[in-house]
């Protein structure tokens, strides 16, 4: 373990601040950065990004739990699929060619970019919430969450099988390329499952946090079983990225109040599309595809 990655502390603070403000998974930033800027092998970059992300998500998960926005029953239902699929993705990431993994991450970044560019406007989300209350609230509601502020949120979860399929695919992606689950969950829970937006976001954070935790453990086991050089590289990064994301996670809420959410989301969409293009271009130029 060395201090050669000291500059990742301020970089991690910046990344975590933007990630928390935009709601994107931190590893979506870290994994491409570790590959493109630091030249790390894909399996080390993805695993280290996931481990770092777990610490960043912890503060957000705690905040949503205190507000009582999380539907734990729905979250556990999704975790029954996402966790085994994430472990499968972790295994796959350690057994495929690096260029294939980079290309998969590049395509995944385009999916993330598209999800940001297609995010519903605030007015659309308000209309969706109103439609959910009218259609699935009242007597039809099977779930009633009482928030810390005393607000009652009533709804009925629909399209469960579709939810398992979509979230399972997201779990595979997060284990394999460190991203994708949060974006797929956001689409499913609000627009397909008809869960109110507050609960959708909080429950998605719960599912992503625990799925990322299990996937990161899987990657950590692979690091321990590999040569000491890989483990030293991972630890040399984590001693700076972990405190960075903890600090940045607290700063994210301040940024959210100062930058219009739609502007931030569109900016993230363009950024991830560019990074995805760079990842794919690098693989093509080396003749990896």
Report the mean per-residue pLDDT for the chain: 79
What's the rounded mean pLDDT across residues 157-178? 83
Tens-digit pLDDT profile for residues 248-257: 877 765 665 5
Sign of the CA dihedral 266, 59, 174, 13? positive
Predicted confidence at residue 227, as pLDDT, reads: 72
Q: Which of 19-33, 34-48, 129-143, 201-215 has the lowest mean pLDDT?
A: 129-143
Tens-digit pLDDT profile for residues 21-64: 666 677 778 888 888 888 888 888 888 888 888 887 776 677 77
Does position 271 have pLDDT exceeding 90, yes or no? no
Quick one: tokens of 27? 């590893």
What's the rounded mean pLDDT across residues 264-279? 75
What's the rounded mean pLDDT across residues 70-85? 91
Which has more confidence, 210 or 278?
210
Predicted confidence at residue 124, as pLDDT, reads: 63
Q: HSE-up of 59 (CA within 13 Å, CB side)?
A: 23
Q: Which of 123-127, 136-140, 171-175 has the lowest mean pLDDT?
A: 136-140
Predicted confidence at residue 87, as pLDDT, reads: 92
Predicted confidence at residue 139, as pLDDT, reads: 57
Does position 284 have pLDDT exceeding 80, yes or no? no
Tens-digit pLDDT profile for residues 93-113: 877 777 787 788 788 777 777
Percent of residues, the chain, with pLDDT higher than 70: 79
Q: Is the Cβ–Cβ distance between 179 and 28 less than 8 Å?
A: yes
Going by pLDDT thresholds of 50, 70 and 90, the confidence category of residue 10 is very high
Does position 286 have pLDDT exceeding 90, yes or no? no
Predicted confidence at residue 54, as pLDDT, reads: 85
DSSP letters along 24-85, please? --THHHHHHHHHHTT---HHHHHHHHHHHHHHHHHHHHHHHHHHT---HHHHHHHHHHHHHH
Residue 262, classed as helix, strand or coil, is helix
Tens-digit pLDDT profile for residues 216-227: 888 888 888 777
Orientation angle between helical segments 8-22 and 27-36, nearest 10 degrees: 140
Which has more confidence, 198 or 174?
174
């Amino acid at each position: 373990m060395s201090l050669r990655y000291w500059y990742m502390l301020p970089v991690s603070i910046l990344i975590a601040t933007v990630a928390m403000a935009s709601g994107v998974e931190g590893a979506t930033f870290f994994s491409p950065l570790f590959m493109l800027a630091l030249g790390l092998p894909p399996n080390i970059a993805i695993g280290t990004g996931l481990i770092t992300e777990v610490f960043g998500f912890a503060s957000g998960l705690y905040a949503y739990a205190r507000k009582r926005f999380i539907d734990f029953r729905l979250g556990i239902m999704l975790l029954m699929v996402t966790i085994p699929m994430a472990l499968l993705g972790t295994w796959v990431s350690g057994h495929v060619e690096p260029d294939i993994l980079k290309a998969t991450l590049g395509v995944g970044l385009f999916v993330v970019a598209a999800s940001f560019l297609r995010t519903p406007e605030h007015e659309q989300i308000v209309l969706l919430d109103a439609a959910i209350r009218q259609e699935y609230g009242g007597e039809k509601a099977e779930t009633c969450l009482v928030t810390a502020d005393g607000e009652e949120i009533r709804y009925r979860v629909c399209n469960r099988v579709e939810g398992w399929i979509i979230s399972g695919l997201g779990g595979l992606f997060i284990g394999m390329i460190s991203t994708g689950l949060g974006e797929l969950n956001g689409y499913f829970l609000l627009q397909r499952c008809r869960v109110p937006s507050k609960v959708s976001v909080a429950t998605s954070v719960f599912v992503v946090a625990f799925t990322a935790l299990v996937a990161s453990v899987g990657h950590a086991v692979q690091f321990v079983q590999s040569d000491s050089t890989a483990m030293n590289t991972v630890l040399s990064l984590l001693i700076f990225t972990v405190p960075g994301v903890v600090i940045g996670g607290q700063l994210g809420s301040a940024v959210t109040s100062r930058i219009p959410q739609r502007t931030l989301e569109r900016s993230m969409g363009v950024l991830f599309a560019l990074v995805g293009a760079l990842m794919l271009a690098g693989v093509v130029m080396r003749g990896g595809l």
